[in-house]
Amino acid sequence: MLQALWVRFTALFTTAFIWLSVLFAGGVGKVTPITTPNPNIPPCGAGLFQGGYESSGSTVIDKYAFVSEKDYEDYLSLLEQSGFALYDSRAIDANRFATLTNDTHAVHLSFYPSTRVMRAVVEEKGALCRLSDPCDPVCETLLTGMKGETVVAAEGMGFILRLADGSFCIIDGGMGDPDGVDADKLMNILLAQKPANVEKPVIAAWIFSHLHGDHIGVFNCFSLVHHDDVVIEQLIFNFPKEEEVERSDSPYMLDDTIYRYTQFKKNLADFYADVPVVKVHTGNRFAVRNAQFDVLFTLDDLYPKSILNGGMNESSLLLKMTVDGQTTLWTGDFGFNSVKTVMSEYTDALSADLLQLAHHGMNGTVDFYAAVDPVFALLPVWEGGYAEMRERAQNKWLINSPNLRQLIVTGQGTWTIRLPYDPVPGTFERIPPDDYVNPSYPKLLGE
């Protein structure tokens, strides 16, 4: 009798706790939690189950509070005993991460001792992150920031990484346009930078920070015109489910405009049906030739908050890239809820040599940029927008930081740098004046 009452009390308490979490996260009814743990994995006997949250596809995030490191280790062992094989296990700062798989599902486990939160992200088994990617070096590694030419949104973000074997890794791309100007511009950069003996440029990975049109638009237009002119090995992203997109600040992303998510999905089906799509999760790591990436944040970490609380930008990936020992922090349009989350979870991991300023200079905080403390900063902002962005508190702090050696503004012109980046002192403007135009490829900054 007492045991039955205790079970009933625990169930009621857990349900109440879940709904209180949603309330304090920013609104009852915006994100409806699942009140029972995922049936595809064994239940965790430790901590307090705070609810399950459905993301896109088959992904469900089970969140537990009041978990210890021993609880995490015990649950990791339980998953292995239940038939899941360990694919990867690691630590970032004091945080613990693991990926496990069985024949049908993958589990991405994370534990943060600072908040005592554990998440079990469960989904149908698909393409996994490449932990290594053999590379035969034949050229220098280059990073190009492509200025968008479209008048719709010249603030679009497009970065092209030429890897040591002559293949490419593209991050976002920028806003597309019906005339394909930026798509052709991207194609010309790939042709100019590829090895002479390679017929078609090889895109070893195309990474998307989030699904806004000024980040996936060039991919859409490029795919319509140049899908047969390149070889794409994999596509990497983690987008929200459409039901949340439709109810968020960005429902327009589901219309039929060429820059939108609807066209993106059509391109995947029409042109890249055989190309692996890797859905990354926090704590994953992956290699793209001689570049290594750490996934420090995905939308999984927001729940019970979501893009319904802070907008689509909150779903931006936070990626830390390492090339020959030099690190770059890619923030996409990182939102303020996201910043608050990572500031509570990481310490040294946020530090980086190069920083891409969040949301074209509009987001980010002083504390966040101080934790990164970069030597170089990359600002994908529209032409003329730099004057406004430099006056924002977080950017003003960064510009005045004694450790910052250079700010490169993409809106002032397409630029290319070598990685690792170490320009000769005195060969560049530390902070470009309004009339400064970065030289276009093939001239390199810092020469």
CATH of the domain at 37: 3.30.310
What is the average pLDDT across 4-25? Answer: 41
Residues 260 and 345 in one domain: yes
Residues 229 and 266 in one domain: yes
Residue 312 and residue 341: Cα distance in Å, rounded?
Answer: 16
Residues 83 and 173 in one domain: no
pLDDT tens for 211-269 read 999 999 999 999 999 999 999 999 999 999 999 999 999 999 999 999 999 999 999 99
> pLDDT category, 15, cuts 50, 70, 90?
very low
Please give the C-alpha separations between residue 437 and each of 224, 369, 444, in angstroms, as whole numbers.
31, 25, 13
Please give the C-alpha separations between residue 139 and each of 193, 290, 344, 368, in angstroms, as whole numbers.
10, 11, 40, 35
Helix locations, 377-417, DSSP H: 386-389, 393-400
pLDDT at position 288 is 98
Q: Is the pLDDT of residue 207 over 90?
A: yes
> Does residue 443 belong to any structural domain of this protein?
no
> Does residue 429 belong to any structural domain of this protein?
no
pLDDT at position 384 is 77
In 3D space, the residue among 297, 320, 285 whose CA is nearest the CA of residue 305 turns out to be 297
> Does residue 438 belong to any structural domain of this protein?
no
The domain boundary residue, chosen from 69, 92, 124: 124
What is the average pLDDT across 187-209? Answer: 97
Residue 27 exposed, middle or buried by CB count within 10 Å (0-12, 13-18, 19+)? middle
> Does residue 299 belong to any structural domain of this protein?
yes
Residues 60 and 113 in one domain: yes
> Does residue 25 belong to any structural domain of this protein?
yes
Residues 163 and 271 in one domain: yes
> Does residue 74 belong to any structural domain of this protein?
yes
| CB contact set of 446 (below 8 Å; sequence gap of 6+) | 417, 418, 421, 422, 423, 424, 427, 428
Question: Which three-class secondary structure state does DSSP give residue 292?
Answer: strand
> Does residue 188 belong to any structural domain of this protein?
yes
Residue 148 and residue 175: Cα distance in Å, rounded?
Answer: 7
Please give the C-alpha separations between residue 225 and each of 61, 184, 194, in angstroms, as whole numbers.
38, 9, 19
CATH of the domain at 313: 3.60.15.10
Residues 70 and 119 in one domain: yes
Yes or no: say if 226 and 188 are a contact pair by the CB < 8 Å rule: no
Residues 360 and 314 in one domain: yes
Range of the domain at 95: 9-124
Residue 443 and residue 447: Cα distance in Å, rounded?
Answer: 8
Residue 302 and residue 355: Cα distance in Å, rounded?
Answer: 22
Residue 215 and residue 203: Cα distance in Å, rounded?
Answer: 17
pLDDT at position 411 is 82
Residues 255 and 162 in one domain: yes
Residue 403 and residue 303: Cα distance in Å, rounded?
Answer: 35
> pLDDT category, 85, cuts 50, 70, 90?
very high
Count: domains in the chain: 2
Residue 371 structure tokens? 């934790």
> Does residue 56 belong to any structural domain of this protein?
yes
Residue 401 exposed, middle or buried by CB count within 10 Å (0-12, 13-18, 19+)? middle
| CB contact set of 379 (below 8 Å; sequence gap of 6+) | 356, 357, 360, 361, 386, 389, 407, 408, 409, 410, 411
What is the average pLDDT across 176-193? Answer: 92
What is the average pLDDT across 28-56? Answer: 90
Residue 202 and residue 270: Cα distance in Å, rounded?
Answer: 19
Q: Which residues of 260-273 are buried (b: 16+ CB within 10 A; e: fewer)?
A: bbbbbeebeeeebe
pLDDT tens for 387-403 read 889 999 999 999 999 99
> pLDDT category, 152, cuts 50, 70, 90?
low
Residues 344 and 402 in one domain: yes
Cα 32 versus chain centre, distance: 24
Q: Which residues of 102-136 are buried (b: 16+ CB within 10 A; e: fewer)?
A: eeebbbbbbbbeeebbbbbbbbeeeebbbeebebe
The domain boundary residue, chosen from 124, 154, 170: 124
pLDDT at position 170 is 98
Please give the C-alpha separations between residue 258 and each of 73, 213, 237, 240, 253, in angstroms, as whole numbers.
47, 9, 19, 19, 10
pLDDT at position 26 is 43
pLDDT tens for 281-324 read 999 999 999 999 999 999 999 999 999 999 999 999 999 999 99
Residues 114 and 165 in one domain: no
- Phi, psi (rounded to 5 degrees) for 162: -90, 120
Q: Is the pLDDT of residue 23 over 60?
A: no
pLDDT at position 335 is 95
Element (H, E) at 63: strand 60-65
Secondary structure percentages of the chain, helix, strand, coil, to 5:
30, 25, 45
Top-confidence residue, 381 or 127: 127
Residues 102 and 189 in one domain: no
Whole-model pTM?
A: 0.93
Residues 26 and 69 in one domain: yes
Task: Say how many CA atoms lie within 13 Å of 302 toward its Cβ.
Answer: 30
